[in-house]
Structure 1
Amino acid sequence: MLTRRLFLKSTALIGCSAAAHPLLSSATFAAAPGENRLVVIILRGAMDGLDAFQPYGDRNLSGLRKTLSLGPDHGATDLDGFYALHPGLEALLPLWRAGQLGFAPAVSTPYRDKRSHFDGQNMLEAGTGTDVGLNAQQDGWLNRLLQQMPGQSSETAYSVGVAQMPILRGAAPAKSWTPEANMTLTPQAQLLLDHIYHDDPLFRDASRQAMEIITGLSPELLESAPGEEHLQLARFAADRLNGETRIATFSVAGWDTHAGQAGSMTRALGRLADTILTLRDALGAHWDRTTVMAMTEFGRTVRENGSAGTDHGTGGAMLAAGGAVRGGQVWGGWPGLAEGDLYDGRDLMPLRDIRAYAAWAMHAKFGIARDVLEGTVFPGLEMGGDPGLTA
């Protein structure tokens, strides 16, 4: 009989796609002084920022993407005459109009060129300025933040499929908890597993058996029941944040869009929108003191590939929402999509370190000194000028 351990061991063979696997979603929580709240959502799989926030005002975009990112004429909603919001995020338009949603284009960690999901995610959560010795990094940037906050105490950490998110690993103690919740597969994950195991009857049948064992659902229900893990995570996070918790982080998978991006991106963005709105509704009055930051390990290629998708890239985008956000605007500049403007001739050129946005949010909301942020929480970071992310 297939065991859960054997199945999870087999997923390591998937390589690229395992980093965005639905079983690798997790969440952690920590208490901290004050009334401000920070939620960090890790978008595992490399979200295509050019599709989520479409720079249709750049005349080069239409030549690079034939079926993706084509702006208001193809269902996206104009934001400012240059950027348009993907239809999957349409439910967040009221937040944009209320000044509670914004985004930063052309951002990245210092990770470059290798384009590995695992290494990219490790760097994002470790918060380091170099990938040299990355595997030896023992703590995450949120844990280092907690060590700088007097009076902080750990709260329950919630993880699904893994013991703990690296972002909160370190000297400041944290625990893990796995909820008694049925998990379903996203349509993207179902297609992924079917493709990977299609020609191997042993793994094909075993993977379905493993899903039934892990989730307690029959294969028929796995195919038909919509996944709501993201909503469960959001509700649980809000419940903790309504108590003593002040900092929460969890992951939402499903962003590895090598093929058929139009459909999978719409579904993934819809889940993200629902997650944010669930947080808002469940937090109630505490939403006004909340900053939500959604980050991904790297962006995707500016050119659409032959499978109507995009491949691993460099520059991406960050989304921020919440009552504490100074939204309704774009933070940062635009590098352009002309051939000479691209990184390595294929990717969006990053203009700012994504860590700087997190650092400025923590400086504003938790009073962490700039030298501590640049030297301890995010080693090697140069924060630069205040982007005005939070109110």
Structure 2
Amino acid sequence: MSHPRLNRRAFLHQGLALGCSAAALPLLTHATFAAAPIDHRIVVVILRGAMDGLDIIRPAGDPLLRQLRPKIAAEEGIPLGDFWQLHPRLGDLMPLWRAGELGFVQAVSTPYRDQRSHFDGQDLLEAGIGMDAPAGFRRDGWLNRLLAGLPGAKSETAFAIGREALPILSGAAPVHRWQPETTLALSAQGRRLLEQLYEGDMPFHIAAATALELTGQPLPLLPDEEEDLPLAAPPPVLPGAIKSDPEVGAFARFAAAQMREETRIVALSLPGWDSHAGQAGAILRPMARLSQLILTLRAELGPVWQKTAFMAMTEFGRTVRENGSAGTDHGTGGAMVTAGGAIRGGAVLGTWPGLSEDALYAGRDLMPTGDVRSVAGWVIHALTGAEKSRLSSEIFPGLDLGPNPGIV
């Protein structure tokens, strides 16, 4: 007996009449969804370039902040209580904060120290290891090791999304990978046929629409349709954002479409956080992209958002003092951004070390008082049921989980 989805896939794989190959539509070629091993969703975002956590979530109650950062911290932030302030350009996230769906963890880092290399720092972050970990653990990522121990996990369970490599999902456990393809060579008739083929199959219809959007060529109207088509609503404008990024929007919509079905783990990265000069302006675009990603995921996931834990982490923090170019250099302690209905938001977690000279790491950086792996480990423990012993031996080898920070 024929199956409509198999027929659609066969059509795409043959490439008949469309003028493109199946490889041009990687988002349409994933396998039939399988039973999901867990009910919650986990999104991990790597903020490449070393996000300045002291700028995103500011310790405004510490009188030394403005002395150490007279230009970067000159503009008043958005109060989050008596001590903390959110960056003034992240006001669009405040509804999530008030709803308990946005939180932060301050003064955290990986075990990486002193060498200050983006590449090495990201390698350790994605491998989930310390600097002295056995070489074997450097070959795969901690999310992949988590997948390997989830009963019933299939390749559909996890997606690596984006154009960059994501070692955090590399390893023995199979995963799906997707990146937007912007060079689809579809004729007008081919695009119309593709839309009609997937009209009654919502997950694939969404994926097809995303693929068409990424071509940058609007779907042409047939002559007899022009007067009957209702006017489309204008795209939403995100408050505080410089400009919506179409690629970030595509990432979020595609991720949400999969997470509404059988995908449970998504990883992607957002670059651009290296702010050595003119940080007050340089940090705006990556902040806007992060905000857009969170808000689009929340809107697209619908009720699934309440089962979602979003964690954004970076390879290391930045120096406490601004430099002569009104920027910051590579540091140590930083911050994590958390969101979703599955996390306990509306709070800034972590032990604050202070900004006094004797409280800094190496006299220049925010002192780390927590480990990003521990935060992620407690989230994983709560949402997947992974045993603490496995977290400390297999997923994050050598990690002392420490006390529960109360993030979930």
C-alpha distance in 1 between matches for 2:291 and 2:245: 14
Q: Distance in 2 between matches of 1:31 and 1:108?
A: 35
- TM-score normalised per structure 1: 0.78
Match of 2:178 in 1: 177
**8 Å CA contact 2:162, 2:251 repeated in 1:** no
Rounded Cα–Cα distance in structure 2 between residues aligned with 1:126 and 1:315:
18
Question: 2: distance between equivalents of 1:158 and 1:376?
Answer: 21
Q: Secondary structure at the match of 1:94?
A: helix
Query: In the superposition, relative to structure 1, how do residues 101 and 227 fare at CA in structure 2: closer, same or farther (>3 Å)?
Result: closer
Give the whole-Å Cα distance in 1 for the aligned partners of 2:177 and 2:130: 27
Partner of residue 377, structure 2: 359
Letter in structure 2 aligned against 1:84: Q
The residue that corresponds to 1:384 in the other structure is 402
- Correspondence 1:22-37 to 2 at 5 A: 32-37=36-41
AA at the equivalent of 1:273: S
SS in 2 for 1:176: strand
Secondary structure of the equivalent of 2:266?
strand
| SS across alignment from 1:88 | coil
The residue that corresponds to 1:165 in the other structure is 166
Match of 1:52 among 49, 56, 64: 56
Secondary structure of the residue aligned to 1:268 is: helix
Q: What's the offset of the Cα at 1:61?
A: 1.1
- Alignment RMSD (CA, Å): 2.3
Q: Does the 8 Å CA contact 1:102/1:329 hold for their aligned counterparts? A: yes
Q: 1:31·1:245 contact (CA, 8 Å) conserved in 2? A: no
Count of residue pairs brought into register by the alignment: 321
* 1:149 and 2:153 are equivalent in the alignment: no
Partner of residue 72, structure 2: 68
Shift of 1:281: 0.2
Q: Does 1:240 align with 2:258?
A: yes
Q: Distance in 2 between matches of 1:278 and 1:138?
A: 33
Percent of pairs identical after alignment? Answer: 55
- Paired residue secondary structure (1:255): coil
- Seen in structure 2, the aligned counterparts of structure 1 residues 136 and 149 have a Cα distance that, compared at 3 Å, is closer
Question: Which residue number in structure 2 is paired with residue 93 of structure 1?
Answer: 94
Deviates more, 1:133-142 or 1:171-180: 133-142
| Alignment partners' CA distance in 1, 2:243 and 2:369 | 41
Of 301, 307, 310, the match for 1:292: 310
Deviations 1:300-327 (A, max 9, x none): 0000011110000000000100011111
Contact conserved, 2:69 with 2:322, CA < 8 A, in 1? yes
Cα distance between partner residues in 2 of 1:47 and 1:320: 14
* TM-aligned CA deviation for residue 80 of structure 1: 1.3
Offset of 1:148 from its aligned partner? 1.2
CA distance in 2, matches of 1:259, 1:216: 35
Distance of 1:232 and 1:105 partners within structure 2: 30
Q: CA offset at residue 180 of structure 1?
A: 1.5
Q: Which amino acid aligns with 2:80?
A: L
Separation of aligned partners in 1, 2:123 and 2:312: 16
Distance 1:323 1:175, change over 3 A: closer
Matched position secondary structure for 2:90:
helix
Contact persistence 2:110–2:315 (CA under 8 A): yes
Q: Distance in 2 between matches of 1:98 and 1:227?
A: 25
Give the aligned residue type for 1:311: D
Structure 2: which 5+ residue stretches go unaligned?
Answer: 1-29, 184-213, 217-241
Contact 2:109 2:372 in 1 (8 A): yes
Distance 1:31 1:79, change over 3 A: farther
**One-letter amino acid matched to 1:67:** K
Q: Distance in 2 between matches of 1:329 and 1:177?
A: 34
What is the SS of the residue equivalent to 2:338?
strand
Task: Provide closer, same or farther for how the CA distance between residues 137 and 323 of structure 1 changes in structure 2, counting only shifts above 3 A.
Answer: same
Assess if the C-alpha contact under 8 Å between 2:49 and 2:315 holds in 1. Answer: yes
Name the structure 1 match of 2:330: 312
